[in-house]
Structures are given as structure tokens and as C-alpha cells.
Chains A and B, each alone.
Chain A
């Protein structure tokens, strides 16, 4: 087990190096002048060709490819991602400021899916081909076919446009004032819901929750459909195994057969998929936040992309790639912990 983890950990820097190399290749498709624009916060500098040339040399933007890569990598290590013209602050600061909002959204999206989605999948498999099973299956296919941006707009249309329940954004104006400018609101975790509870402000907590519901539903409904299907087919597969028949033949209670003997083994593939699903949510964050104008990293990245703010877009890509690589590692290791067969390969 330990050797497996060590082997995977040794691979980690190599993959990270590869990913940064790939992103640098994309970055290099831009001309040195365009890349220079990601480093400076005053566009007037570019008007003077001589000073622009000096800056290009200073940032090693015209160097041969390998040297340019090494310089870029060095600046990444110093967390210097350049200047974000969209956020009007350094890229790294812009990322850090928006990171908690996105994580809060992802956190609330994952928990219910894993708890309820798996349970529904098991039910669907146990009642194989029942009406309930058919309903769950058809709902999953339709959910799977609804693109996030259309689903999100639909939610916004119904619950905000018509019913007026779930406003876009992260907080109402009064709550925003209380949280950021009011002064005596302490930021412990930067998750507004947690901070509001810790500060004893139930009104702000409620306001944050109302704003979160729409994005949560939008971000997680595909995962619901997906996880349900995987749990269902894996459970169906397991219920057909010999040891299940043995357990039943021994006269073990049906409930025990399903929830103790079958479910444990059926959930092994689900763990991998759940991990992949959480990572997949990171991509969905961009669209969900854009639809609801939720002030996280995704919304900022989309705005930066529209305004050709390359530095922000690249910084965002590097960060998400890092999260994904580390996330994949965690999934693989936990998979090996659960299923001993993986380690032996």
C-alpha cells in the first residue's frame, strides 16, 4: 500500500511539470507583445516601442522556447501570474479573493449528491425495472441532455423571474454592506454561510443560502444523473454475484444482503466516479457562476476570456489544472485503500 502511494506521489511533480508545459505551449501561441500585456498594469507603456522592447527583454518573452518556459515556471513558483486587467489587481490576488466563493458553492453541491444520489441509485437497482426505476432512469437521461447553461437560465427564469425567490449574485446589497464594509463582521473561513453562523447573524446566513440554492442545483444536477446511473448499474452487477446468492440461500435477511453485502462492494466503482464527478464540477463552475453572476473564479475567468485578459485566463487554467491533478491523486489513493485488488496491479 505504502509503495503504491509513494509511487503515485513521485509521479505528481512530473505530471504537474507536464501540465504547466502544456499551458505554456498554449500561452506561447500569443506574440511576445500580447504576452507582455499580461505583466503590466499601465497600457500606456506599450505605446512606446522602445520601453516595450525593454520590458519584453526584462520578462524574457522573446527568449528561445525552453529558456522562456523556465523563466515562466520560476515566476509561477513566486506566485507571479501577472496583472489582471479585468480585476484591476495582480492575478494571484484576484484568484485568492474569489477562491472561497467558488469552494463554498462546490462544497454545498457535492454533499447532497453523494448522500442522496447513491441512495437513489441503490433503490433504483433493487427495484430493477419497476416503475420507480424507469422514472429515475428517464429523469437521468433527460437531466444528462440538458446543457448547464440552459438549465441554469431555466432555474433563474422560474425561481427569480417568476417567483422572485432566488436572486442572482452572492449576497443582497444590505448583507454585502454588513459583511464587507460594516466593520464588525469577522471572516473566519471566508465561507459566508459559516462566517454568518459564527458571527451569530442568522439573517445574513439565510440571505447567503437563498443566493446559493440556484447555483447549487445548476452545478450538481448533472452529477445527480451521472452518479445515479453508475450506482444503479454497479449495484445491478453486484446483486447478480454468487456470494449474494449464497447469502440469500443461507437465509440472510434481504435488507442485510442489500445494504451490507452488496452495497459495500457496489460502491467501489462509485468512488472513482464520484471523484471524477467532483473534478468535473470544476468545469461547470464557469458556466454556473456566469449564469447567476455569482462572484467566484469561474465568473471572473469567463469575463476575462471575453475581454482577452490572457494573464487571468492562464492563471485560472494553471490553478484548476493543479486542483485537478491533486484531486485525481486523492481519488486514486482512496480507491486503492478501498479496493485491495488495485494495489496488486
Chain B
């Protein structure tokens, strides 16, 4: 464990990844101070104006909006849209700051639950073998037969709009990879003498799985999980982009990008007019995913015994 932390800190790429992650964690924790909410639900993006057209960075809050917030009894401290406004007057800066919390929530919850389902089904399949293994692995195959994004899109369409539904869809079709990995490593560990000894002593099956097998096989799964957080967040954002994800006005990076979609081309003679509408949300998503990938890439290299000593 110490060796891994040392490697992570000494490798430039993973160090950049860790620093980026730290940056996002700080934003997520201090979101209420960086971008004080004006609606009762802090995830509701603050609107700077009722205008449909995006407004450039530094756009001050329109008077009619200020009146609305003041009548709600809110103190408007931050009255400039630092990154401009998206389609519909939504403050891009606010959406991105609170969207960081959404990203962490979606990433961590979906990965933890899909890992749980995967580890349980994979370890049961590997440990008991026989028809249980056959059945569980065929079910895994069937879930893998629909492209992930398509499956998630179908399920969210059926369940309806909302971040919780997006998460259910991502979990429902995101567990198979873990099941396969844990099954593979338990199949080989199962033959070890200490497992045989535990069995010979009459230790209960579930106790063996939980206390003897999992602690020795879980590590590759954890690495895979850490790498999947980025891709889960991207898929959730993609669903929002397609219009089946988070509800309108919810602080979510994918939605910020979808707001920019109609304006990307600019206006005649001024192609880059609305650059900020896609640039800022884009850079947040890319850096977030990049940070997980940089860390994950190094982790994988460290864990791959064939490459040991090469780094």
C-alpha cells in the first residue's frame, strides 16, 4: 500500500491527476461559499436574466431578476455571471460549481452500488461454481449485450427524467465488469491452500468469501472502480446532453453543455460569439475525467506485474 502511494506521488502524470482531483474536492466542499445559492434548492441554477440568448462573461444580473430574488427574501451578493450565462439566462459559473457536487455524487454512488452488485454476484458465481456460475455468467452476458449508453438511455426514458433515475439506470447496466473481474481472481485464489484449510476446518461458505477470499481479491476491482468514476460521470452527462437526464435547470455539467448546443455555431459573421457557453462546461468535464484517468492509468501500470520495474 505504501509503495503504491509513493509511486502515485512520484509519477508526474498521476501527481497532476491527484492535484486536479483535490481541486474538484475543494470546489465541491466549499460550493455554498464560492457560489451562494439563491433558490431554496441549491441545485437549482441561479438565473441572471429571462433572456434566451447566452450572455458573455461578466454579465450583471438583470434588474427584473434581482427584484424576484429580493422579493423571495434573498440577499444577492454575487451579481455578475463570471463565466457568462447559458441559454435561458442560467449562470454558467453557478451551474459548474454546484455541478461538481452532482458529479461526485453521481460518480461515487453509481460506482459503489454497481461494484457491490458486481462483487456479490461475481464472488457467488466463482465460489460455488457449477450451474450457479453458469447461470450468473449468462445473465452477465445478456446485460452486456446492449451497448451501455443505449441501455442507460432506454431505462431513463422509461423511468422518467431525474438524476436519481439516471443513477438507477447506470447502476443497472454498470455492474457486469466488476462481476467478471472478481470472478476471475476468486477462481484462481479459491485453489490456494489457506482456503482449503478454512474449508476443512468447517468455516461457513459466506464467512470464507467475506473474510478470506474478498480481502485478497478485491484490489483490482477497486482500481477498476476508481477508473470508472470518470466514465460514469461522462455517461450521466451524455444522458443529460441527449435530453433524458437531469431535469431542466438542475446543476449538472451535461445539461450546461446541452444548453450550449444550439449556440455553438455563433451568429453570421461572428462565429465564436458564444464560445463561453461550451468552453467552461467542457473544460470542467474534461479535467474531471482526465484527473481520474491519470490516476487510474498509473494505478494500473503499478498493479500490472508484467510492467513492474519498467516505470
Query: Which residues on A are within 8 Å of B, measured CB to CB?
Result: 14-15, 18-19, 21-23, 26-27, 29-30, 141-142, 144-150, 153-154, 156-157, 160-162, 164, 237, 279-280, 282-284, 286-287, 290-291, 301-302, 305-306, 308, 310, 313-314, 316-317, 320-321, 324-325, 328
Once bound together, how far apart are the Cα atoms of A153 and B256, in whole Å? Answer: 13
Between A and B, 5 residue pairs with Cβ closer than 8 Å are A21-B142, A22-B145, A157-B275, A287-B242, A302-B243
Q: Judging by beta carbons under 8 Å apart, are B149 and A287 in contact? A: yes
Q: Is A283 in contact with B149, judged by CB distance below 8 angstroms?
A: yes
Closest to B294 in A: A141
Count of A-B contacts with CB under 8 A? 143
Verify if B257 is at the interface (C-beta below 8 Å from A). yes
CB-CB under 8 A from A150, the residues of chain B are 257, 278, 282, 285-286
Instruction: Determine if B282 and A15 form an interchain contact, defined as CB atoms under 8 angstroms apart.
Output: no
B289 with A22: CB separation less than 8 A: no
Given the interface pairs A149-B241, A320-B147, the reply to whether A22 lies near B142 with Cβ below 8 Å is yes
* Contact among A21, A147, A156, A305 for B153, CB-based, below 8 A: A305
A324 x B289 contact (CB < 8 A) = no
The answer to whether B278 and A145 have CB atoms under 8 Å apart is no
Cross-chain contact of B286 among A23, A146, A305 (Cβ < 8 A): A146
B184 touches A (CB below 8 Å): no
| Interface hits, B215-239 → A, CB 8 Å | 230, 234, 237-238
- A287 to B265 Cα, complex, angstroms: 18
**Residues of chain B with a CB closer than 8 A to A21's CB:** 142
Q: Beyond A141-B290, A154-B278, list 17 extra A-B contacts (CB 8 Å).
A: A23-B154, A29-B158, A147-B285, A147-B289, A148-B238, A150-B282, A153-B260, A153-B261, A156-B265, A157-B264, A283-B148, A301-B153, A305-B242, A306-B243, A317-B151, A317-B154, A328-B145
Collect the chain B residues with CB atoms within 8 Å of residue A141's CB: 13, 290, 293-294, 297
Can you name the residue of chain B whose Cβ is closest to the Cβ of A19? B145
Bound together, the chains give a CA A160 to CA B272 distance in angstroms of 11
> Does B199 lie at the interface of the complex (its beta carbon under 8 Å from any beta carbon of A)?
no
**A19 touches which one: B142, B234, B257, B294 (CB < 8 A)?**
B142
Q: Does B69 lie at the interface of the complex (its beta carbon under 8 Å from any beta carbon of A)? A: no
Q: Of A279, A284, A314, A317, which is in contact with the most chain B CB atoms at under 10 Å from its CB? A: A317
Q: Which one of B141, B150, B157 contacts A283 once the chains associate, using CB atoms below 8 Å?
A: B150
Majority-rule SS of B interface residues = helix
Check: B176 CB closer than 8 A to any chain A CB.
no
User: A145 touching B286 by the CB < 8 A rule?
Assistant: yes
Q: Which of B145, B230, B234, B266 contacts A321 (CB 8 A)?
A: B145
B146 at the interface (CB under 8 A from A): yes
5 interchain residue pairs of minimum CB distance: A283-B147, A18-B142, A283-B149, A145-B290, A306-B243
Using CB atoms, name the residue of chain A closest to B287: A145
Asked if B142 contacts A156 (CB within 8 A), the reply is: no
Question: What A residues does B278 contact at CB under 8 A?
Answer: 150, 153-154, 157
In the complex, the answer to whether A145 meets B293 with C-beta atoms within 8 Å is yes
